Amino acid sequence: MQKHTINRRNLLGGAAATAALTLPSWAKGAAQPVPSYLKNYGSLYAANPRAAALKYFQDADFGLFIHYGLYSLLGRGEWVQLQGKIPVMEYAKLKDDFTAENFDAAYITDMAMDAGMNYINITTRHHDSFCLFDSKYTDFKSTNSPAKRDLVAELAEQCQQKGLGFYLYYSHGRDWRHPHAPNNGDWGGNARPKYDSPEPFYKYGDDQDLQIYVEFMKNQITELLTNYGPVGGIWLDGEATPKSRQKKLHQFKTQELYDHIHAIQPQALISYKHGLTGTEDFKAPERKFKGTSDVPLEFCDTLQNWKWGYSKDQDGKHKNADQVMEMLANAEKYDGNLLLNVGPLPDGSIHPEDVKTLAEVGKRLRKS
């Protein structure tokens, strides 16, 4: 079992503790030191930061995905609110039990590096809208829970120290809490849980304004790009909802968001699963992919049999090193990366089965 030393919390000089939206120096045209994860791409970075980040990504091969949030406490996967039709305010009570007492960013990054991984991606905000970072645009966040911690800041600091790429998952297409997020009926793609009666927390009809939600997302992504140092990429999720109504897709202002991301951090790559606008830097299909791609591929898969957030019924059934090596070989056939997911236990610790598997994968990769 891992040893946890949770005393690394005065991070980033306190910069991440307050979510000011002052743009960093690289957004103002000033020269910026090469990010630690791009240290071997310095010449290319000086000429074209995004090209350097893309070359790094294509060379990276193997990354760690982390799905962690309030859903972890229930141990039934990350879609438990929708599948269980849990009312918004009832689900929100989970925040009062979120301690993340054994979430150890130093241990996680060391584990990833020992497994041969070169970058990390964490769910900053999943479909339930609970944030693992300190945002001034919501009180539904880890810093406003018993944990009182900014887990994104902790992981960012460790990745920067160790030269790991740091990527940020953000649920864009769907949100099961925000009053003005897409509703069922107006949109498809599991936009909302299908409650038996209208959820009073949501806005409907003329009272709903999608642009309030669009601005909320832009503001939060701006925080992620300005408060946590250099970011390898923004990894957007929830594509089925905006794709469900192609004639209304423009309402999400997705390309404007992409341009905004690149204006703040020019090297930051963008993915939206299989692609929403066709201008993404890479595609990130789940598990399998057919055909060809004109941009790099990243296959995301999980060490549990299916669900991404912790699922207690999978205890004793997690994938082994042989299966991970097969996933890596499959990704290599497409000249793509493998982004391998762990769903931490309710307390934030990595499942012992995953610790064992990743240690074995690292041994095999060092021998190959």
Q: How many CA atoms lie within 13 A of 79 on its CB side?
A: 11
Give the burial class of 224: count Cβ atoms within 10 A of its Cβ; 0-12 exposed, 13-18 middle, 19 or more buried. Answer: buried
What pLDDT shows up at residue 4? Answer: 36
All domains of the chain in start order, with CATH: 57-367 (3.20.20.80)
Q: What is the pTM of this model?
A: 0.92
What pLDDT shows up at residue 23? Answer: 55
Tokens of 289: 């992919």
How far is CA 21 from each of CA 74, 165, 245, rounded to the nearest angstrom? 34, 23, 32
- Please state, for a pLDDT cut of 90, what percent of the chain lies above it: 89
Alpha carbons 97 and 91: distance in angstroms, whole number: 11
Alpha carbons 364 and 368: distance in angstroms, whole number: 6
User: Which of these, 264, 259, 268, lies nearest to 26 by C-alpha position?
Assistant: 264
Give the chain's count of helices (H) and strands (E): 12, 7
What pLDDT shows up at residue 17? Answer: 36
- Quote the DSSP letter at residue 297: B
- Quote the DSSP letter at residue 266: T
- Quote the DSSP letter at residue 339: E
Tokens of 101: 């007492």
What pLDDT shows up at residue 291? Answer: 85
Q: How many CA atoms lie within 13 A of 143 on its CB side?
A: 19
Which positions ≥6 away from 158 have C-beta within 8 Å?
Answer: 8, 105, 106, 108, 109, 164
What pLDDT shows up at residue 31? Answer: 58
What pLDDT shows up at residue 24? Answer: 54
Residue 31, SS3? coil
Beta-sheet strands, E only, within 126-232: 165-171
Q: Could you list the pLDDT tens digit for every one of the 368 residues in the chain?
A: 343 333 333 333 333 333 344 555 444 444 579 999 999 999 999 999 999 999 999 999 999 999 999 999 999 999 999 999 999 999 999 999 999 999 999 999 999 999 999 999 999 999 999 999 999 999 999 999 999 999 999 999 999 999 999 999 999 999 999 999 999 999 999 999 999 999 999 999 999 999 999 999 999 999 999 999 999 999 999 999 999 999 999 999 999 999 999 999 999 999 999 999 999 999 999 998 888 899 999 999 999 999 999 999 999 999 999 999 999 999 999 999 999 999 999 999 999 999 999 999 999 999 98
